[in-house]
């Protein structure tokens, strides 16, 4: 059973386990990560085992700073501009990987690109102390809702790992935005914690979207799935459904919902992102026939929220 240690007291123990090749759960600003030494193949293999994650789905390597990123990938001017502006923070850059840089091939699942991100807070301190990147997918069983608190991680993975570093609820609440940098072209592979508009404003050009087939291999299937079925963009609540609400106004039949949680009563998309996964888990616990979800606007972080909701509602394997 995992021990839970507050982040202020956890660095030494986290470092000991990471050096020993064991995966540990750590807080990041987006969601909790299941982290292991990205240069240790056995350690990375354990991440896949703990999550039950398909081996063809590559991992993000988390770095301490741009200097560490340069050891593992080549950063074009456009990539450097984005890294300088948004790191540390919820932006992942997919870049041409450097050969023989020491990363386990399991991290990239054999691709010639590598996904790099510099997280805020505890993760960055741990990576700097380790001196090597940490591979870290979200800390949840493959296909399930991402953990945004130490308690959510404990319920899902507590039996399978030794340590959960508790940094409280994660402030952003959805995973990082993933942008692939191909020469000077920018392709949005996954909407996330930084709105596409904000990246476009810094880059000075539009993000390309979805034209080139599946580029983030983990982005296709049903994902983020609670146990209950999920019904999207509802205009009314049906018998025995739970309601995931958004904003000040309620849809028809809301008063009959088995349970109701509001992503943001004032209609704030940042607040909604922060609450998304915890609310999905809490409504799941109401054991309703389904979770009905009110419409969430597509602007700003709404793109990431709608992306996660669509996957939560997708047909299950
Ligand atoms: O906020 C986040 O990004 C969190 C925290 C822990 O940092 N991590 C996270 O990791 O969401 P994960 O493994 O759940 O999602 C990583 C995504 C997957 O969809 C994977 O397919 C994609 O990144 N990915 C990784 N390497 C890639 C590459 N070289 N090319 C394209 N997609 C890649
Ligand atoms: Mg994930």
| Closest residue to atom 22 of ligand 1, CA basis | 216
pLDDT above 80: residue 12: yes
To test the ligand 1 pocket, which listed residue (59, 194, 222, 223) has its Cβ within 8 A of the most ligand atoms? 59
Shared-domain flag, residues 147 and 284: no
> Based on the structure, what is the number of domains in the chain?
2
Question: Which protein residues have their CB within 5 A of the ion that is ligand 2?
Answer: 138
Average pLDDT over residues 236-240: 97
pLDDT band at 179 (very low <50, low <70, confident <90, very high): very high
Q: Is the CB of 76 under 6 A from ligand 1?
A: no
Shared-domain flag, residues 80 and 196: yes
Q: Is the CB of 111 under 6 A from ligand 1?
A: yes
More confident residue, 209 or 167: 167
More confident residue, 221 or 242: 242
- Give pLDDT, residue 218: 55
To test the ligand 1 pocket, which listed residue (58, 93, 213) has its Cβ within 8 A of the most ligand atoms? 58
- Give pLDDT, residue 316: 79
Shared-domain flag, residues 211 and 234: no
Which atom of ligand 1 lies at the shortest distance from residue 136's CA?
6
Question: Where among 219, 248, 268 does a domain terminate?
Answer: 219
- Give pLDDT, residue 23: 98
What 8-17 contacts at long range (C-beta under 8 Å, 24+ apart), as own/partner pairs, is: 10/122, 10/163, 10/165, 10/166, 11/122, 11/125, 11/126, 11/129, 13/163, 14/122, 14/126, 14/163, 14/165, 15/126, 15/129, 15/130, 17/162, 17/163
Which atom of ligand 1 lies at the shortest distance from residue 62's CA?
7
Q: Is the CB of 114 under 6 A from ligand 1?
A: yes
Q: Is the CB of 30 under 6 A from ligand 1?
A: yes
- Give pLDDT, residue 222: 73
187 domain residue, yes or no: yes
pLDDT above 90: residue 130: yes
Shared-domain flag, residues 36 and 163: yes
- Give pLDDT, residue 216: 57
CATH code, domain with 301: 3.40.50.11030
Q: Which ligand is nearest to the CA of 178?
A: 1
Average pLDDT over residues 110-123: 96
- Give pLDDT, residue 36: 98
pLDDT tens digits, one per residue of 14-52: 999 999 999 999 999 999 999 999 999 999 999 999 999
- Give pLDDT, residue 214: 42
Shared-domain flag, residues 184 and 52: yes
Shared-domain flag, residues 170 and 98: yes
Average pLDDT over residues 190-202: 97
Shared-domain flag, residues 69 and 210: yes
117 domain residue, yes or no: yes
Q: Which ligand is nearest to the CA of 28?
A: 1
pLDDT above 70: residue 219: no
| Closest residue to atom 10 of ligand 1, CA basis | 137
Shared-domain flag, residues 280 and 211: no
| 166 beta partners | 6
Tell me how far the alpha carbon of residue 108 lies from the centroid of ligand 1, in angstroms: 10
| ipTM, interface predicted TM-score of the complex | 0.99
Q: Is the CB of 178 under 6 A from ligand 1?
A: yes
Tell me how far the alpha carbon of residue 116 lies from the centroid of ligand 1, in angstroms: 9
Please indicate if the annotation marks 57 as binding a ligand: yes
CATH code, domain with 59: 3.90.870.10
First-to-final CA distance of the chain: 29
Q: Is the CB of 59 under 6 A from ligand 1?
A: yes
Q: The domain containing residue 247 runs over which residues?
A: 230-313
- Give pLDDT, residue 211: 54
pLDDT tens digits, one per residue of 252-311: 999 999 999 999 999 999 999 999 999 999 999 999 999 999 999 999 999 999 999 999
Q: Token pair 């050009």 is at which residue?
A: 205
CB 194 within 8 A of CB 202: no
- Give pLDDT, residue 230: 96
Question: Where among 219, 239, 267 does a domain terminate?
Answer: 219
CB 182 within 8 A of CB 207: no
Tell me how far the alpha carbon of residue 168 lies from the centroid of ligand 2, in angstroms: 19
96 domain residue, yes or no: yes
224 domain residue, yes or no: no
Mean pLDDT of the chain: 94
Average pLDDT over residues 150-177: 98
CB 101 within 8 A of CB 114: no
pLDDT band at 213 (very low <50, low <70, confident <90, very high): very low
- Give pLDDT, residue 239: 96
115: enclosing H helix or E strand:
strand 113-117
Please indicate if the annotation marks 85 as binding a ligand: no
Proportion of the chain above pLDDT 70, given as a percent = 96
CA distance 137 to 61: 9
- DSSP 8-state class, residue 299: S
Proportion of the chain above pLDDT 90, given as a percent = 89
Average pLDDT over residues 219-240: 88
Shared-domain flag, residues 30 and 82: yes
What 215-218 contacts at long range (C-beta under 8 Å, 24+ apart), as own/partner pairs, is: 215/94, 215/180, 215/187, 215/189, 216/94, 216/178, 216/189, 216/190, 217/56, 217/57, 217/58, 217/109, 218/57, 218/58
pLDDT above 80: residue 215: no
- Give pLDDT, residue 317: 66
Which tokens belong to 134? 């940490």
Shared-domain flag, residues 275 and 132: no
Shared-domain flag, residues 68 and 192: yes
């Amino acid at each position: 059973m995992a021990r839970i240690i507050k982040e202020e007291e956890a660095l030494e123990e986290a470092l000991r386990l990471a050096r020993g090749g064991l995966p540990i759960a750590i807080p990041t600003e987006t969601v909790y990560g299941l982290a292991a030494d990205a240069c240790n193949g056995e350690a990375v293999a354990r991440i896949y085992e703990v999550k039950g994650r398909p081996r063809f789905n590559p991992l993000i390597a988390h770095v301490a700073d741009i200097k560490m990123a340069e050891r593992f990938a080549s950063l074009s001017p456009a990539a450097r501009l984005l890294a300088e502006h948004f790191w540390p923070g919820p932006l992942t850059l997919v870049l041409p990987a450097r050969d023989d840089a020491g990363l386990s091939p399991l991290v990239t699942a054999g691709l010639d690109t590598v996904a790099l991100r510099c997280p805020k807070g505890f993760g960055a301190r741990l990576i700097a102390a380790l001196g090597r990147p940490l591979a870290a997918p979200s800390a949840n069983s493959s296909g399930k809702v991402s953990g945004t608190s130490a308690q959510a991680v404990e319920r899902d993975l507590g039996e399978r790992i030794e340590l959960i570093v508790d940094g409280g609820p994660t402030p952003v609440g959805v995973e990082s935005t993933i942008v692939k940098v191909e020469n000077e072209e920018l392709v949005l592979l996954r909407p996330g914690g930084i709105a596409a508009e904000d990246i476009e404003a810094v880059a000075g050009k539009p993000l390309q979207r979805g034209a080139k087939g599946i580029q983030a291999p983990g982005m296709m299937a049903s994902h983020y799935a609670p146990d209950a079925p999920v019904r999207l963009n509802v205009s009314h609540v049906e018998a025995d459904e739970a309601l995931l609400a958004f904003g000040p106004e309620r849809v028809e039949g809301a008063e009959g919902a088995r349970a109701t949680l509001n992503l943001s009563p004032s209609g704030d998309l940042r607040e909604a992102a922060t609450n998304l996964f915890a609310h999905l888990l809490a409504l799941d616990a109401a054991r309703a026939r389904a979770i009905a979800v009110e419409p969430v606007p597509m602007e700003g972080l709404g793109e990431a929220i709608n992306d996660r909701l669509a996957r939560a509602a997708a047909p299950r394997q």
